Amino acid sequence: MNSLSLTLFDCVVLVTLLGLAWQLLATPDLFKAMVLFMSFGLVMALAWVRLAAPDVALAEAALGAGLTGPLFLSALHRLRGTRKGERRQQLDSIEHRGKIEKVTQRTSGRIIYLLLRILFAGLLLTLLVHLATILLHVEYENPGLGVFVAEQQEESGVISPVTAVLLNFRGYDTLLEIMVLFVAVVAVWSLATVRFSEKSGQVSPIQQGVVRILAPLMILVAVSLIWQGTHLAGGAFQGGAVLAAAGVLMMVSELPWLRLIPSLPVRLMLVFGPLVFLGLGVSCLADGRFLEYPGELAGFLILLIELACGLSIGLTLACLFVGGRPVDDLVDRGQLEEGS
Amino acid sequence: MREVLDLTGIVLIVCGLPFFLSGSLGLLRFPDIFTRLHALTKADNVGLGLIVLGLICQAGSLFEALRLLMVWLLVLIASSASCHLIARSALEKNIKPWMRS
Amino acid sequence: MTVLFAYKLGGLCLFFMGFTALILRSHPLKKIMAVNVMAAGVFLLFIAMACHGRVGVAIDPVPQAMVLTGIVVSVSVTALALVLACRIQETSGGAGSSEGEHPPQGDS
Amino acid sequence: MPTVSASFWMVLPVVLPLAGGLLCFLWRQRSLWLPLAFALVNLIVVIRLTRLLLIQGPLHYQIGGWETPLGIVLVLDGPALLMLLLTALCGAGVTCYARGYFAYRISAQKQPGRHERQERFFWPLWLMLLAALNGLFLSGDIFNIYVTLELLSISAVALAALSGKPVAQLASFRYLLASLLGSLSYLLGIFFIYRSHGVLDLGLLRAVVEPGSSMTAGLVLMSCGLLLKSAAFPLHFWLPPAHANALAPVSAILSGLVIKGSLYLLFRFWFDTFASLISPAALNVIGMLGILAVFWGGILALLQQRLKLLVAYSTVSQVGYFLIAFPLAYHDATLSVWTAFLFMILAHGCAKVAMFMAAGTMYLHSGHDRMRDLHGIRLVMPLTVFAYGMAGVNLMGLPPSGGFVGKWLLLTGAFDDGQWWWSVAIMAGGLLAAAYVFRVMSPLFQAPVGASIFDGRPTPALLEWPPLVLSLIALLLGLFAPGIMALLTANGGAVISGGLP
């Protein structure tokens, strides 16, 4: 890395990052915080590019900024929609606040409260400085596992080192991580229901038209991202995120044919990727260890796993965006009334 | 030949930058949402167009140039659509356009 | 090296800023955002560690893979936390809200 | 290195529940056989692994066939196997109990759709949690442990929120934030460790660890995360509401199994992998926190009006005992404190699972768990009350229970190296436990005021027998002590695969 030539750029990125983070955490306006959060994600993606991590940059742009932002926005929308008083969204803190206010009415209480805050800040600052000095003083940084990855690259069946680590050397981590995504969907479905068949009918025709053009393109991009993961930056997560973004766009635009009712096909799709990954891993037990792809088939198997997982991840993320088990009024109205 | 291309590229990019600058300034300084949208879309359309043209001059292959053009096209579609949506929802919320008073 | 150190310092700052906000902010959405900022700080540290800044030493892909894993995990946890926050709001409502429109909650 | 053909059994405790969770989600008809089959097969696999361990000694399994610095290795040694056994036993018990629990509630005709929905989501979440726990105990790689911890906490949070009550959801939101904070702290710790040694494998780390500021920072950060996740004293705020307001089988899982995961890791890191970094001062701090936890949890348990909250606070108190084991283990050159720690974990796991299940059955019958109003419930469900009492004996630490063996070993350890002051806390904590257990038992045995408050239906066998069996196992654990010691020292003479520090 030609380290000194771009220092100004780095400084701008860093200062923007810290400033955005400070602003988004400090502002009392939730919507503003939301917008700042999305831009924070985008600047973060810039930092990843600068730090030679294109895979992470893609994932951050697609997942961190592209999907988390809408997640927050729809949550904010739901939070505001439920109650009239936007100001009273402090769920559990009202009581707590009251206590603090009661304490701070007296001068002695105010001083103690201030002292506590100073103590807390001082503690954190000391910790920060301590950790930073460790980072500064210990000059020697281990080269890490890069050497080993480079040595074994040939045997992994893929060209991109990050994909080799993700799906071959440390494929077990990735398997569990996909399970985390799956559990998140199960958890979200167990928590809330969303009425899907309600349509506002107020979507602008221009939006629908644009989405009709963009969605197929995005799906194309997603597939190519998954495919190019074997030799360039990209892979199942990035591709899946783009796929999910296409799904989110279509849902927001209320395209008529799109329904995400948790019937068997949808559940099958959700389970498909994890099950293929797990199944291939187990089938490797036939003549080897768990997840030990036979040499000549490794590349093909990894591509297969990436495709299957990419599809499932896309659907999973879209389901997370929906934010609950979609319920069709016509199909299980009875269940909804009985449930919460 | 190479130098001419490089020079053209740089000139185009430098020409594109003021559009972004004025767009950002407009976003910060203009009085209401509609005028701000106007400022932003100018930056996106013309500024990005010039920069993409400048980059195309330095592109290694035709494929790469096409991809850059594609980026511009997509941003055009997305920005005009989102501009429309923002203006629409502003109108729905009965936000009155700013008048010189 | 100094550039990388600056990034690492930035990562640490993000971590502690998020931590402070997580403790001091009371709104659930703010808390979730604070956790995300903390996670971004840790990821920044990992990625800055991965590119060593030394000539001839390959970039270590293992921390990059770890960060990818971390990003996916944090997105899924964020989604769950957001739905949970919405549910709390919907079922308990704000103080003094109308109770009639909710079905009575049964036993545990 | 054992042959490949036999050691593939080691991945099954992870792979089978994962597959089970996916399949349960896919076929969501209420069915007993699928989750029960998976829980039983898991038990069988773990028993098979026990035999394997006894014959061959500690096992290593390279996933994907990659050598250690690059790949991930699963490690099966004595402590890991005991934790697997605990999880498999309690898991089978909880699975049976949960089936009975949901069937009982669905047949009560009060909002059956809601209970059916809860059951439908309970099974996949629970099997995923089981897989995460098994993966955690088997894992030999710090980053892989992070992923399993995340899988564990996300499924635990989802389970805790399953009851749908606003209180439970609020509690599980806090639980989620606390465990996220713990995970991030752990991840930051991994950063500091990886940057100084460039390896993630526990075995390799043990070989290269040397005192240094970066390593210490890493270990401290990781330990803070784990302490938060295991609800050690000042960081326990999230535990009682989350555990007390969940569904009964979920409370049992959370209290009996989930917090044991991070506690076990903590002990393993401090006395196995990073043992050379540990200073006596740090251990004493942990021990003091333990003493505070024992008293704080015990006193608050005494003050509770609700049965499930009492049991939850008793968990806070019991976590204190595990922490007291830390300073004692440092001076102890023999195996006794490791054994004590594991004994206490086993005994507390079985007893707490049984206790929460018994409390849940009482809740089911009476519709509440206010202790004042539970008079005479003994007449309605003698077996459940008996199970509760047996589990209580364990918490008090009376012989021949596993809790007794654990505390006895701790006490001898404390006296052996002259640290008698720890023993005062251990014994006082036992008295506190006796007080809060009897506080529950006495109303249960009083004459009923009016029997009509109880649901008139008979208690199904599935609700009665699992807590009874588990509490009896916990009670008789002391009698199996020689066998368990044999497991710990199987074929190598060392408790852990790499030997003690």
Residue A296 above 80 pLDDT?
Answer: yes
Q: Is residue B7 part of a domain?
A: yes
Q: Is residue C28 part of a domain?
A: yes
Question: Using a CB-CB distance cutoff of 8 angstroms, which residues of chain A are in contact with residue D112?
Answer: 338
Summarize pLDDT for D202-248 with one digit per residue, the tens. Answer: 999 998 888 888 899 999 999 999 999 999 988 999 999 999 999 99
Residue D357 above 90 pLDDT?
Answer: yes
CB within 8 Å of B30: residues ≥ 6 apart: B36, B38, B39
Q: How confident is the model at residue A17 (pLDDT cuts 50, 70, 90)?
A: very high
Summarize pLDDT for D96-117 with one digit per residue, the tens. Answer: 999 999 988 888 877 888 888 8
What pLDDT shows up at residue D1? 42
Nearest-CA distance from A225 to chain B in Å? 15
Question: Using a CB-CB distance cutoff of 8 angstroms, which residues of chain A are in contact with residue C53?
Answer: 1, 3
What pLDDT shows up at residue D276? 86
Delimit the domains of chain A by residue range: 1-79, 92-137, 160-340
DSSP D141: B
Q: Is residue C107 part of a domain?
A: no
Q: How confident is the model at residue C39 (pLDDT cuts 50, 70, 90)?
A: very high
Using CB atoms, pick whichever of C51, C63, C88 lies closest to residue A91. Answer: C88
What pLDDT shows up at residue D497? 42
Q: How confident is the model at residue A199 (pLDDT cuts 50, 70, 90)?
A: low
Which of D108, A271, D353 lies closest to D118, judged by CA?
D108
Question: Using a CB-CB distance cutoff of 8 angstroms, which residues of chain A are in contact with residue B88?
Answer: 204
Residue D445 above 70 pLDDT?
Answer: yes
Q: Is residue C38 part of a domain?
A: yes
Average pLDDT over residues C32-55: 89
Domain extent, residue C81, equals: 2-88
- Helix boundaries (H) for chain A: 7-26, 30-50, 54-59, 68-82, 93-105, 107-137, 146-156, 161-164, 171-191, 205-228, 236-252, 264-283, 298-322, 333-338
- Could D8 and A271 be called an inter-chain contact, meaning their C-beta atoms sit closer than 8 Å? no
- d(CA D252, CA D255) in angstroms, rounded, equals 5
Q: How confident is the model at residue C104 (pLDDT cuts 50, 70, 90)?
A: very low
**DSSP run (H or E) holding D355:** helix D336-366
- Give me the number of domains chain C comprises: 1
D154 interfaces chain C, CB cutoff of 8 Å: yes
- Could C81 and D181 be called an inter-chain contact, meaning their C-beta atoms sit closer than 8 Å? no
Average pLDDT over all residues of chain A: 83
Nearest-CA distance from A44 to chain B in Å? 20
Chains that touch C (3 or more CB pairs under 8 A): A, D
Chains that touch D (3 or more CB pairs under 8 A): A, C
Which of A213, A182, A325, A196 lies closest to A252, judged by CA?
A196
Query: A195 forms bridges with which residues in the sheet?
Result: A327
What pLDDT shows up at residue A266? 86
**When comparing pLDDT for D440 and A182, which is higher?**
A182
What pLDDT shows up at residue D259? 94
Domain extent, residue D277, equals: 4-488
**When comparing pLDDT for D319 and D414, which is higher?**
D319
Which of B27, B33, B29 lies closest to B90, judged by CA?
B33
What pLDDT shows up at residue A82? 55
Residue D409 above 90 pLDDT?
Answer: no
Q: Is residue C21 part of a domain?
A: yes
Identity of the highest mean pLDDT range in A209-213, C22-26, D290-294, D427-431: D290-294
Q: Is residue D501 part of a domain?
A: no
Question: Using a CB-CB distance cutoff of 8 angstroms, which residues of chain C are in contact with residue D164?
Answer: 91, 105
Q: How confident is the model at residue A328 (pLDDT cuts 50, 70, 90)?
A: low
Based on its alpha-carbon atoms, the radius of gyration of chain B, rounded to whole angstroms, reads: 17
Question: Using a CB-CB distance cutoff of 8 angstroms, which residues of chain D are in contact with residue C81?
Answer: 173, 176-177, 180
Average pLDDT over residues C3-10: 89
Q: Is residue C6 part of a domain?
A: yes
What pLDDT shows up at residue C26? 85
Residue A137 above 80 pLDDT?
Answer: no
What pLDDT shows up at residue D248? 94
CB within 8 Å of A164: residues ≥ 6 apart: A149, A152, A153, A156, A157, A158, C61
Summarize pLDDT for D262-286 with one digit per residue, the tens. Answer: 999 998 999 888 988 888 899 999 9
What pLDDT shows up at residue B99? 80
Average pLDDT over residues A117-131: 92
D181 interfaces chain C, CB cutoff of 8 Å: yes
Q: Which H, E and C letters describe D265-296, residue by residue?
A: HHHHHHHHHCHHHCCHHHHHHHHHHHHHHHHH
Domain extent, residue B32, equals: 2-92
Question: How many of the other CB atoms lie within 10 Å of CB of A107?
Answer: 8
Question: Using a CB-CB distance cutoff of 8 angstroms, which residues of chain D are in contact with residue C70?
Answer: 187
| Structure tokens that stand for A279 in this block | 């199944």
Summarize pLDDT for A238-274 with one digit per residue, the tens. Answer: 999 999 999 888 888 877 666 666 678 888 999 999 9
What pLDDT shows up at residue D335? 66
Average pLDDT over residues A67-94: 67
Residue A96 corresponds to which amino acid?
H
What pLDDT shows up at residue C102? 34
Residue A150 above 90 pLDDT?
Answer: no
What pLDDT shows up at residue A90? 44
- Could A168 and D128 be called an inter-chain contact, meaning their C-beta atoms sit closer than 8 Å? no
**8 Å CB contact between D353 and D470:** yes
Summarize pLDDT for D363-406 with one digit per residue, the tens. Answer: 888 888 888 777 777 777 889 999 999 999 988 888 888 888 88
- d(CA D104, CA A139) in angstroms, rounded, equals 64
Average pLDDT over residues A263-291: 90
Summarize pLDDT for D30-56 with one digit per residue, the tens. Answer: 566 889 999 999 999 999 999 888 888
Question: How many of the other CB atoms lie within 10 Å of CB of A312?
Answer: 27
B70 interfaces chain A, CB cutoff of 8 Å: no
Q: Do chains C and A touch (3 or more CB pairs under 8 A)?
A: yes
Share of chain C above pLDDT 90, in %: 57
- Could C80 and D363 be called an inter-chain contact, meaning their C-beta atoms sit closer than 8 Å? no
- d(CA C76, CA A94) in angstroms, rounded, equals 28
Share of chain C above pLDDT 70, in %: 79
Residue D129 above 70 pLDDT?
Answer: yes
- Could B77 and A204 be called an inter-chain contact, meaning their C-beta atoms sit closer than 8 Å? no
Residue C68 above 80 pLDDT?
Answer: yes
- Helix boundaries (H) for D108-210: 112-138, 142-160, 166-197, 202-208
Question: Using a CB-CB distance cutoff of 8 angstroms, which residues of chain C are in contact with residue A141?
Answer: 49, 52
Strand pairing of D59-62 and D73-76? antiparallel
Residue A106 above 80 pLDDT?
Answer: no
Q: Is residue B100 part of a domain?
A: no
**8 Å CB contact between D352 and D311:** yes
Q: Which of A74, A180, A231 to mutate to test the interface with C (most CBs of C within 10 A)?
A: A180
The residue with tokens 């996933």 is D63
Q: Which residues of chain B have pLDDT under 50?
A: none
The residue with tokens 């109990």 is D97
Average pLDDT over residues D476-485: 83
Residue A242 corresponds to which amino acid?
V
Q: Is residue C105 part of a domain?
A: no
- Give me the number of domains chain D comprises: 1
Lowest mean pLDDT segment, chosen from A142-156, A274-288, A309-323, D67-81: A142-156
A289 interfaces chain D, CB cutoff of 8 Å: yes
What pLDDT shows up at residue D229? 95
What pLDDT shows up at residue D220? 95
Domain CATH number, residue C7: 1.10.287.3510
